[in-house]
């Protein structure tokens, strides 16, 4: 069911998509722009091992996971725009702290605060979209947003490397501050509030608990929430180890951002394709096709890697992961929309719970991958295979329950 565009939305559809994509992209920017500088950053901050420097990525997701518990209910009470403003302030403060960090602990504290702030944009934007759209229409909007959003991981590593080479890694955090300010000003000037005062909910421990229980009692919300976290975990693990894989294992040097962009572009193309076909094919059939493709590709790559001691030829790695990420590009927007479909009346609380739990799950999986990293692709590939099989099982169970 599609909701008509209310008068509270001032922007054209294209500008709305662009603004939402920018706000959601703060997490990807905070992750991907740092990747080319991780090794030098670790040396400057006296980090003992590369496994430890990966915490610069994973700690941001921890902050984001915790932050998501609060922003959804808060935005249900005070409005969507104010919720985003609070997140942007925390994001900018975290960027300042990381900018001036002189030791690794301070850096991690700043990154945690960045994640805590970026959660506001990520979670409240989803609730804002849910205020305006529902069902396959929401999936279509999310796919177009993901298509624009994916330009960030395509461009961010090259942007980060350019800033790093010109002014050093600390200047990357200054660019985060500027982007946070840009997003806040654009939102303030151009986008009207989507949650009108008469639709706001006074958040109390009681209705927060009720909303949480309702989310967990809703089979689609619970199932697709778990599926989203499990399938996203290996991707976060890839982000954490991408610089090491490309530059240390395969020795691509300063060409790393371009190979990283090629893989990221496949997700964007898949998201754009999904936005065009989801209305006619449906979310669940697309999820099944993409999950099957992802699992088969990962299993085939794992089998082939065995004959190369799990460091397969670079071309095989790139082609396999382009196919793998293309399938994931179909999954990301659809799984989130499916999780939200039956909890629209508590969109803020539900979005917070779904986002937080799925992010916690993804971060935990990524942390495990990082701990097992052994300068081969074995831990990452095994994670993709297992996550695909588990997610296929969950989707099958949820659809079976829906038929009852």
Q: What digits encode the pLDDT tens for the residues 173-214?
A: 999 999 999 999 999 999 999 888 888 878 788 878 888 899
- If one counts the domains in the chain, the total is 1
Q: Does 300 reside within a domain?
A: yes
pLDDT of residue 8: 41
How far is Cα 8 from Cα 17, in angstroms, rounded to an integer?
15
Residue 172 lies in a domain: yes
Assess if residue 7 is contained within a domain.
no
Asked if residue 57 is part of any domain, the answer here is yes
Average pLDDT on 348-359 reads 83
Which ranges constitute the DSSP H helices of 133-198?
Answer: 135-149, 151-167, 170-190
**Cα-based angle 224, 363, 375 (whole degrees, multiple of 5):** 120
Euclidean distance between CA atoms 240 and 256, whole angstroms? 14
Does 199 fall in a domain?
Answer: no
CATH number of the domain enclosing 337: 1.20.1250.20
Q: Is residue 202 part of a domain?
A: no
pLDDT band of residue 9 (cuts 50, 70, 90) is very low
Using a pLDDT cut of 90, give the percent of the chain over it: 53
Q: What is the DSSP letter of 267?
A: H
Q: Answer positive or negative: Cα dihedral of 68, 346, 358, 361.
A: positive
Whether residue 171 lies inside any domain: the answer is yes
In this structure, is residue 98 part of a structural domain?
Answer: yes
State the residue for tokens 């909910």.
Answer: 201
Distance CA 377, CA 26 (A): 28
- What mean pLDDT do residues 269-273 have? 85
Q: Which residues form the domain of 108? A: 13-192+207-403
Q: In this predicted model, what pLDDT tens digit does every residue of 212-256 receive, in sequence order?
A: 899 999 999 999 999 999 999 999 999 888 988 998 899 998 899
What tens digit of pLDDT does each residue of 131-180 get?
888 777 777 787 777 767 667 777 899 999 999 999 999 999 999 999 99
């Amino acid at each position: 069911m599609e909701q008509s565009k209310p008068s509270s939305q001032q922007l054209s559809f294209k500008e709305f998509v662009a603004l939402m994509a920018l706000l959601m992209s703060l997490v990807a920017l905070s992750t991907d722009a740092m990747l080319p500088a991780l090794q030098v950053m670790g040396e400057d901050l006296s980090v003992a091992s590369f496994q430890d420097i990966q915490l610069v990525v994973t700690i941001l997701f921890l902050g984001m996971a915790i932050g998501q518990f609060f922003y959804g209910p808060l935005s249900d009470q005070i409005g969507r725009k104010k919720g985003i403003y609070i997140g942007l302030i925390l994001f900018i403060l975290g960027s300042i702290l990381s900018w001036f960090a002189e030791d690794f602990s301070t850096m991690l504290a700043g990154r945690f605060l960045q994640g805590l702030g970026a959660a506001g944009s990520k979670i409240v934007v989803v609730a804002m979209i849910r205020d305006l759209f529902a069902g396959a229409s929401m999936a279509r909007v999310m796919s177009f947003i993901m298509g624009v959003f994916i330009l960030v991981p395509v461009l961010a590593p090259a942007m980060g490397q350019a800033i790093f080479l010109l002014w050093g890694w600390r200047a990357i955090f200054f660019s985060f501050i500027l982007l946070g300010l840009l997003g806040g000003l654009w939102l303030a000037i151009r986008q009207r509030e989507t949650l009108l005062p008469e639709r706001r909910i006074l958040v109390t421990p009681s209705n927060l608990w009720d909303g949480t229980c309702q989310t967990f009692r809703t089979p689609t919300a619970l199932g697709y929430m778990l599926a989203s976290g499990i399938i996203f975990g290996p991707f976060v693990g890839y982000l954490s180890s991408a610089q090491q894989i490309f530059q240390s294992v395969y020795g691509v040097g300063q060409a790393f951002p371009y190979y990283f962009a090629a893989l990221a572009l496949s997700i964007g193309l898949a998201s754009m394709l999904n936005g065009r076909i989801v209305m006619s094919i449906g979310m669940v059939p697309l999820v099944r096709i993409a999950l099957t493709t992802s699992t088969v590709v990962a299993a085939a790559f794992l089998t082939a890697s065995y004959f190369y001691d799990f460091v397969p030829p670079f071309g095989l790695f790139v082609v396999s992961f382009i196919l793998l990420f293309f399938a994931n590009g179909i999954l990301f927007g659809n799984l989130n929309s499916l999780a939200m479909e039956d909890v629209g009346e508590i969109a803020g609380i539900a979005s917070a719970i779904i986002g937080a739990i799925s992010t916690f799950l993804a971060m935990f999986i990524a942390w495990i991958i990082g701990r097992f990293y052994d300068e081969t692709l074995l831990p990452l590939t095994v994670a993709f295979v297992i996550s695909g099989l588990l997610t296929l099982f969950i989707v099958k169970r949820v659809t079976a329950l829906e038929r009852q």
